[in-house]
């Protein structure tokens, strides 16, 4: 069974794209067939996988507007996973989506034909609660929420969870919160520890045990067009994302067992 996961947080700078790229790479390295869908017009996930977003290539725009199949657009990248690339053209796709019927179901309908060939589809959402993010949540089985342990992030989390509840009570009742991932984690900071404790108190098992540390190698990797696991597999950041992929797989193997 394919697992479709939207990586979402309307707050920017929380390691959302870093998480999408590195989770995709780590799951692929563990033997999974993975598709990464870049739904952000900035194209950071595309560039972070070594694909030139400014090259003459078909992107998620053609997928959403011109009805090209995902198979015609995917780029197989170093790391052994496939990417649906994105660039600034995607902003025009947003305008297009606002005008079509069943606009929030467009990605779900396009993915259904393609997704079966993959074990995991990871969708990197834009840093806003836009029609593209809503489409991703309607298409997804679960939403993974990366967040920094700071107070503003807690406010953003409650806004995102309200959106998730709206999707659950409407177009996608099966959507679950995959987990909350603590990113850029610095255990020496008392505020970080305090917010982390609050998260565990309120969300319990929904908080991933794995934390993603602040890590220079993790920050450097995208400028080389590589996931951290290929740039420096011994770095703390790469090791943390491999641990996250392991925790993620275990969770779904458990839930797939007969009750």
φ, ψ (nearest 5 deg) of residue 17: -70, -40
What's residue 258's pLDDT? 56
Q: What's domain 3-256's architecture?
A: 3-Layer(aba) Sandwich (3.40)
Residues in the chain: 259
Q: How far is CA 33 from CA 28, 29, 50, 76, in A?
A: 6, 9, 19, 11
Q: How far is CA 1 from CA 4, 30, 108, 117, in A?
A: 10, 17, 15, 10
The rounded radius of gyration (Å) of the Cα atoms in the chain is: 17
Angle at 228 between CA 53 and CA 237, to 5 degrees: 135
pLDDT (tens digit per residue) in 61-91: 999 999 899 999 999 998 899 999 999 999 9
What's residue 253's pLDDT? 77
Element (H, E) at 11: none
What's residue 226's pLDDT? 96
Low-confidence spans in the chain with pLDDT less than 70: 254-259
184: left (phi over 0), alpha (psi -120 to 50) or beta: left
The pTM is what? 0.95
pLDDT (tens digit per residue) in 153-195: 888 888 899 999 999 999 999 999 999 999 999 999 999 999 9
What's residue 66's pLDDT? 93
Residues 6+ apart with CB under 8 A from 130: 94
Place of tokens 């259904």: 112
What's residue 227's pLDDT? 97
Residues 6+ apart with CB under 8 A from 58: 68, 72, 73
Separation CA 78–CA 133 (nearest Å): 27
**Domain segments of the chain as ranges:** 3-256
């Amino acid at each position: 069974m394919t697992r479709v996961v939207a990586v979402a947080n309307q707050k920017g700078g929380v390691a959302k794209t870093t998480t999408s790229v590195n989770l995709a790479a780590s799951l692929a390295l563990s033997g999974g067939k993975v598709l990464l869908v870049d739904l952000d017009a900035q194209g950071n996930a595309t560039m972070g996988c070594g694909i030139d977003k400014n090259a003459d290539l078909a992107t998620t725009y053609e997928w959403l507007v011109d009805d090209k199949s995902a198979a015609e657009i995917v780029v197989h990248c170093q790391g052994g996973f496939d990417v649906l690339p994105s660039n600034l053209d995607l902003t025009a796709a947003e305008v297009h989506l606002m005008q079509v019927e069943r606009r929030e179901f467009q990605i779900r309908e396009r993915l259904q034909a393609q997704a079966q060939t993959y074990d995991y589809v990871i969708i990197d959402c834009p840093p806003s609660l836009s029609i593209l993010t809503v489409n991703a949540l309607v298409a997804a089985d679960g939403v993974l929420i990366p967040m920094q342990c700071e107070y503003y992030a807690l406010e953003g989390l409650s806004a995102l969870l309200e959106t998730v509840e709206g999707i659950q009570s409407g177009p996608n009742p099966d959507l679950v919160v995959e987990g909350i991932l603590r990113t850029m984690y610095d255990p020496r900071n008392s505020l970080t520890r305090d917010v982390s404790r609050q998260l565990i108190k309120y969300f319990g098992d929904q908080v991933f045990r794995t934390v993603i540390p602040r890590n220079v190698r993790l920050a450097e990797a995208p400028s080389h067009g590589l996931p951290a696991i290929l740039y420096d597999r011994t770095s703390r950041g790469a090791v943390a994302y491999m641990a996250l992929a392991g925790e993620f797989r275990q969770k779904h193997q458990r839930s797939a067992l007969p009750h």
